[in-house]
Structure 1
């Protein structure tokens, strides 16, 4: 067997790094040398999982601060603000990562570089040194995905002084964890390789907190708003609307958010800062969430219907796809009220059409190739790429 050096690159966001974990574990388990390059926020988590890391580029908090400090033209044409966000949050950080990554990669010598879809420094490394470039998705394609990719790639080539990587991106490999029946159009020119998503990769030693284990034996509703758009006011609104139903509720407030912010809650509500969804989803009868890609696909991999409360980023596209598939109820920000929240939770718990649609997607996901299978094919292709380079 050929052993390779495989570099993974990502923006320092949980929702961007975690979808790469199945391939990272598969590569390490197969004996390949794995390196992960991202910003400082995710380095401790990756090292806890035993991966070697390079801390490169700005933190996401720094990139977001630079975006907030930039000026916005109120008369700008539609789409201009979205393009500005893409440059500040993803293009400029990719340039900084590229400057730091290229000298490290020159000495390390990766055979393959796997980059999440909004991280572009890794592609620059791969194309500069003859490694196989692989793009890895994390959910449904947002509207204008292709246009945003062009904006970011143009920024990189102009700032780095390198040739345009547009054609290589458009025709390259796209590893897609989204089941085809749920996926939207947007990056159709790429060579799609499906990979099976799961409920999440569980670090060693994690188990359910005692407060969750002691919940009454009722249908469990898992309430989470993720790690970026977590809004305690919305969480309180949801809890106030549904906590008197005959259910048990597991709530995660997000890293660094004090559960006490939600105030006192009855004994059938367990509030914790964080618990791996791989532990919670097998117990859940319904999920109420922001519909981030990891939560959405994890719930579907577990066959659990959802109440979708999108707040930003790709969440609106994800929520629309779940609604269209019949696997959940979507409430847009201006549709959220205690009455509608209560009705939505009751609907996904008691109307079996939602559970049936979620189970159908679970079956589709179960038929997708495993990470180990995808990795084996990528290694074969990378070996051939090395021979012809």
Structure 2
């Protein structure tokens, strides 16, 4: 057996969205700190973020927002029913973006030597390109791993996509691509069927990442409890935010709102005196100061709040958010409001109840302890050479 490499050349790759890129950055940072050479492949909209961390950046794939626009036309997510949203997502994630990524990465892999590829679990194109080039690949989870039995559309798309490039799939591990799967979701919240399906699963502690910034005054000033409200970076909905602002303000607690890049602040009106509205906040730094997070259910916010030991109130809007909301609510760590139930009065009641719920507080604390015991990005960075190309 050849000796394990001490320093390796690693290409990280993710789709160009906060929820797809930010979960990988703590491991990439730890790998660079361990002395590995890091190249990051994604669409150029995220190059400034990763370049600021000291990584070489290369172009890969397409722009997610542009491709969704081409698929759905002038409609918004709010105009589409769940089946239409799923169909559009499967086409963009399972067909369009993977083909673009393979077209960009395969020539790069043939021109330059990489010992290992770390691709986020939805970056299928990077996984296929690595397989075609004979480079070992590690998948990095970004959400709750779900059994393929519950994802029939994806189960049908992946074999077709792989066959297009002459790649054979492993029928079970890591959505069919084999190799280690870095799982950032707490094991206690997963079912045995899925855990068995991901036979190469390696736990990895989720670490919240955000570009550093100054904490808003609403965090550092004032007494009482702090409620943090966000619908994330892609699912901003002014109507939902206005309803939530009114409902949470009625609790009498301080409320900090991160409206996100898709929402015009003027559409939210003049906030009540106990509400502060920002376009963006350094979420990773805000969460430890927060008593309750009211949010859409994106995995970054969900796991970041869980790691910080914060109770959560979900108002899911799409994608994996309904899964996260149901998982945490079933565990007793959260509440959820869906569809027409998202009213100011319901939000006031649910937020007040959660903040007074001692049972939920104990469950949340236990989840935070479980996450704290998961291997850290530094721990996993030390294992990357054993998964790398030794030729």
Which residue of structure 1 lines up, in the alignment, with residue 209 of structure 2? Answer: 201
Which residue of structure 2 lines up, in the alignment, with residue 172 of structure 1? Answer: 179
Which residue of structure 2 lines up, in the alignment, with residue 75 of structure 1? Answer: none
Structure 2 residues without counterparts, runs of 5 or longer: 76-81
8 Å Cα contact 1:230/1:254 also seen in 2: yes
* Superposition CA RMSD, Å: 2.3
Which residue of structure 1 lines up, in the alignment, with residue 201 of structure 2? Answer: 192
8 Å Cα contact 1:305/1:327 also seen in 2: yes
8 Å Cα contact 1:49/1:203 also seen in 2: no
Question: Which residues in structure 2 correspond to 1:90-129 (within 5 Å)?
Answer: 90-129=94-133
Of 62, 67, 70, the match for 1:66 = 70
2:136, 2:93 → 1: CA distance?
25
Does 2:295 match 1:289?
yes
TM-score by length of 2: 0.89
1:342, 1:312 → 2: CA distance?
23
1:135, 1:344 → 2: CA distance?
37
Which residue of structure 2 lines up, in the alignment, with residue 54 of structure 1? Answer: 58
Q: CA deviation at 1:16?
A: 0.8
1:347, 1:309 → 2: CA distance?
16
Q: CA deviation at 1:222?
A: 0.5
Q: CA deviation at 1:103?
A: 0.8
2:269, 2:84 → 1: CA distance?
41
Q: CA deviation at 1:83?
A: 4.9
8 Å Cα contact 1:291/1:318 also seen in 2: yes
Cα 1:103–1:45 shift into 2, 3 Å: same
2:44, 2:190 → 1: CA distance?
31
8 Å Cα contact 2:219/2:226 also seen in 1: no
2:70, 2:194 → 1: CA distance?
28
1:242, 1:158 → 2: CA distance?
51
Larger relative contact order, structure 1 or 2 (CA cutoff 8 Å, min sep 6)? 2
Post-superposition Cα deviations, 1:62-87, rounded to whole Å, max 9, x if no partner, equal: 2101221499xxxxxx9797355312
Which residue of structure 2 lines up, in the alignment, with residue 40 of structure 1? Answer: 44
1:320, 1:326 → 2: CA distance?
10
2:348, 2:217 → 1: CA distance?
27
SS at match of 1:181: helix
8 Å Cα contact 1:146/1:186 also seen in 2: no
Post-superposition Cα deviations, 1:202-247, rounded to whole Å, max 9, x if no partner, equal: 545x221345434x21200000000111111101101111213221
Of 181, 190, 197, the match for 1:183 = 190
1:277, 1:28 → 2: CA distance?
23
TM-score by length of 1: 0.89
1:70, 1:239 → 2: CA distance?
28
Does 2:269 match 1:260?
no
1:261, 1:18 → 2: CA distance?
28
Does 2:380 match 1:374?
yes
SS at match of 2:277: strand
Which residue of structure 2 lines up, in the alignment, with residue 29 of structure 1? Answer: 33
1:339, 1:267 → 2: CA distance?
18
2:44, 2:195 → 1: CA distance?
29
Which residue of structure 2 lines up, in the alignment, with residue 74 of structure 1? Answer: none
Structure 1 residues without counterparts, runs of 5 or longer: 72-77
Q: CA deviation at 1:381?
A: 2.8
Cα 1:210–1:50 shift into 2, 3 Å: farther
1:129, 1:32 → 2: CA distance?
20
Q: Which moved more, 1:173-182 or 1:35-44?
A: 35-44
